[in-house]
Structure 1
Amino acid sequence: MAVEIIMPKMGMGMEEGTVVEWLKKKGDPVKKGESVVSISSDKIEKELEAPEEGILIEITAGIDDVVAIGQPLGYIGAPGEEVGERPDGSKDETKQREAAIESAPETEEEATVPAHSEERRLRVSPAARRLAKIINVDLSTITGTGPLGRITKADVAAAEARKAQPKEAEEPQISNMSISVPAAHPSATSKKVSGMRKVISDRMFASLSQTAQLTLQATVDATELIIFQKKAREAYPINDEVRLTITDFIAKAVINALLEHKRMNSLYEGDTITTFDEVHLGIAVALDEGLVVPVIQHADKKSLSAISREIRSASKKARSSELSRLKLSGSTFTITSLGTYGIGFFTPVLNPPEVGILGVGTISEQPVYIDGELKRRSLLPLSLTFDHRAVDGAPAAAFLATVKANLEAPFKLVL
C-alpha cells in the first residue's frame, strides 16, 4: 500500500509549508531515509526523507505549492501501484472518501464568502486571513495560487503591493515619438522567487507595510571594550564553545538595557502591546540562501560565558543545516550585524511582532578629541530601529544611550 510523504510541522506557529524543489521525479526509485523533496516554512528550509523504500509513484504538490501540515506531498509505493490501492488490488476506501470531500471546506477558515453579486467558495489559509485583516485587503478580490485555488499569505501580500502602486496616468498624446522596449539581455537569467527567499520577501514587505519604523543611531567609544575583551579572552580558556567576542558583549549590554527599559522588550500584535519581564534574544545569522534568527531563551538569566556559548552554538548549527534543532521563534528583541562586511550605520528592518532591532556596524579607528587632545579611538556604530506605534522617540533614545553606556563601561557586564 502506498505511503504518504507528509508536510511536517516544523515549529509551534507553523500551519502550512511550501514545496521548494523535488529532488526526485515521478517514477524514480527511492531508498528509506533518502531526501526526496525540499520544503520551507516561515522560518526554515529543509529536505524531507523518504519514509519507506520504493518508487515515487505520485507527486501531488508541485513547486511553490502551499500545503497544510499533515497533508500529503506525494506517495511512495511498489512499481505499477496506484495511489490508494491495497496490496490485493482493491482501492483504499479512506482515500476514496478523502478524494470525495477534497473540494469541501476543511475548516471554518474556508467557508463560503459572498463576492459582490455572486457567491464563490474561498479557501484561505489562517495566516492569509490574519494578514488580510491587518492590512485591510478584501479576500474576495484575490485569486489564490495555492492548492485548489487556496489563498496564501503571499497572495495577500501581492494584492496589497498592487493596491499600493499608483494608477497609471492617461497616455499623453505625443507625436513624432516612439517608445522603445528594452530587449532581454542574452546574459541575464530569470528565476522565480521561492523557498526561503520568498518567505523573507513576504516577511520584509509585511514588516515595512504594517509598522511605523524609525531608526536612531549612536556611536560607541569601544576602545576600553576591546582592551577588556582581549584581557578576558586571555584569562578565560579559549575553546570551541566560548571565545568572548565583541558580539557577546553587545548581546549582554542589550540584555541589561532591556531589563532597564522594558518598553523596548515588547511585542505589538493586533491592538495589543505585550511587555516581557524576561528577555528572549534573537541573533540574526546570515546564510547563503537567506537569514535566520536563532533565539536565546531567558537570556537575562544567563552569564556572559553562557550567552557566548549559545550564540556560537546557534551560528554553527544554522550554517551546518541543523536548523531543525534551533529555536527560531519567540524572540522579544533582535540583534543583527553587518560589521564583518565593513558596513557602518544602516537601517535594520524589524522582525515583527518585535518593536525593536539593533544593527551593529564595523569598528573603525578614528581620531577623537578628548579633553582638548586628539587621540586614536575605536568607534562602534549602532543603529536602533523601533516601532513608533509602540515606543516613542525619547524612550527609544534612552534605551540606546544605556546600551552605549554599558559598552563603554564593559566591567559592568560581568558583575
Structure 2
Amino acid sequence: MAADLNIDITQVTGTGPEGAITEKDVTGFAEKAKTAQPKISPTAGVIAAGLGIDPGQIDKDGRIMKADVLAFKQNADFLKFADPQEYTKPMSAMRKIIASRMSISQETSATVNYNQRVDTTAMKQLREELKSTAKITYTDILVKILSRVLLEFPLLNSSIVGTDIVTRNYVNIGVAVALPDGLIVPVVKFANKKDLGAISSEIKSLAEKARNNELETDEITGGTFTITNIGMLGMESFTPIINQPEVAILGINTIMDTPMVVAGQVVIKPMMNLSLTADHRVVDGSVAAQFVARLKELIEKPGLLLL
C-alpha cells in the first residue's frame, strides 16, 4: 500500500504491536502529507502568493525556493498551450478566385505606393448640404472626383496589352464591396458621363446586388480603375492591391480630427489619407504624384468640379 501511495515507509510511525506499521498508519500518513504545508522560503512565499500559486502544488523535496516557484509558473503557462488545435476547411470558390487574382497581380505589376493627407472639411460640408435631397456618401463624392481626374491623367486609367499601353476617353470605376466570404468589385460604367446623384444611386444599387449575389457578369467586368474604402473600419493607411488588368487603385482611409497649423495657428482639421498603388511599368512617380495632388485639390475644393 505504501508503494501505491508513493510513501517512504521509513517515514511512517507504527502504532501496532511492538511498533508495527498498520494500514491505518499508512493512510493516516498519506492524509497528513496532503494537508501539510511544504517548507518554503519567505521570498518564494511572497512570489507564490502574488502569482496565485499554491505551494502544495510544487513537487519539491526540501525547501521551496524562488527559482522553484518561477519554474512552476513557467511550466503552468506552457501547459495552457500544450494541446494546440488546428482546423482546416477548403477555400470557397470566391476565395480561390481572390487568392489567384491577388497572386497574379503581385507577380505582374511593379507596384509603388503613394500616400497623401487631405483636408476633408469642404467635402464634409458638401455631403451635409446634400443630406436633405440625397444620401450621398464620401465614396460617391470620390468616385465623381476620380471620374474627372482620370481623364486628366489617362495613364492612371490605362492598361497594358502585350507591349502596348491602352488609354481611354471614358472612365469605368470599380467600387470594392466587402462580403462575408470575400470581396467583389462591381463597376460604375462611364462614370465621367454621370452626375453625383446618378453615381450615388448606381453604387448603392450595385452594392445591394453584390450582397444578394445578384450581380451580372457585365456589372463586374470592364473596370479601368478601382477605389476601395475601409475608412469606416478606422484604418489610417494601407496598401491596396491593383485589380488587374488595371494599373492603379486608390485606397480611402478614415477621417481623423488632426491638429494642423493654419496661418500660424493650431486648428483641428478633419484629415484623411489617400493611399494610391500604381504600376511603375506605366505610371512614373512624377505622374502619380501629380495625380494625387489633383485629387487633393478637388477634395479640398469640390466646387472646382463645376468648372
Is TM > 0.5 for Structure 1 vs Structure 2?
yes
Shift of 1:326: 6.0
Match of 2:231 in 1: 339
Runs of 4+ in 1 over 6 A off after TM superposition: none
Q: Deviations over 1:319-367 (max 9, x none)?
A: 1121237610100000011111100111000001101100000001111
Measure the CA separation in 2 of the matches of 1:202 and 1:193. Answer: 12
Match of 1:292 in 2: 184
Larger RCO: 1 or 2 (CA < 8 Å, sep 6+): 2
Shift of 1:184: 10
Q: Does 1:405 align with 2:303?
A: no
Q: Which has the larger radius of gyration?
A: 2
Q: 1:272 aligns with which of 157, 164, 170?
A: 164
Match of 1:207 in 2: 105
Measure the CA separation in 2 of the matches of 1:326 and 1:266. Answer: 19
The one-letter code sitting in structure 2 at the alignment partner of 1:349 is I
Measure the CA separation in 2 of the matches of 1:325 and 1:187. Answer: 40
Question: Secondary structure at 2:278's aligned position in 1?
Answer: strand
Measure the CA separation in 2 of the matches of 1:350 and 1:185. Answer: 41
Shift of 1:409: 0.5
Measure the CA separation in 2 of the matches of 1:315 and 1:414. Answer: 27
Measure the CA separation in 1 of the matches of 2:217 and 2:241. Answer: 25
Normalising by structure 2, we get a TM-score of 0.71
Shift of 1:412: 2.5
Measure the CA separation in 2 of the matches of 1:214 and 1:310. Answer: 31
Q: Does 1:196 align with 2:94?
A: yes
Shift of 1:186: 5.0
Unaligned regions of 5+ residues in structure 1, if any? 1-182
1:146-165 equivalences under 5 Å are: none
Question: Secondary structure at 1:361's aligned position in 2?
Answer: strand
Measure the CA separation in 1 of the matches of 2:99 and 2:117. Answer: 30
1:192-341 equivalences under 5 Å are: 192-234=90-132, 236=133, 238=134, 243-324=135-216, 327-341=219-233
Measure the CA separation in 1 of the matches of 2:95 and 2:162. Answer: 26
Structure richer in strand, relative to its length: 1
Question: Secondary structure at 1:374's aligned position in 2?
Answer: strand
Measure the CA separation in 1 of the matches of 2:189 and 2:218. Answer: 11
State the identity %.
41
Measure the CA separation in 2 of the matches of 1:306 and 1:203. Answer: 30
Contact preservation (8 Å) 1:304, 1:413 = no
Shift of 1:232: 1.8
Match of 1:359 in 2: 251
CA RMSD of aligned residues (A): 1.7
CA 1:185–1:335 in structure 2 vs 1: closer, same or farther (change >3 Å)?
farther
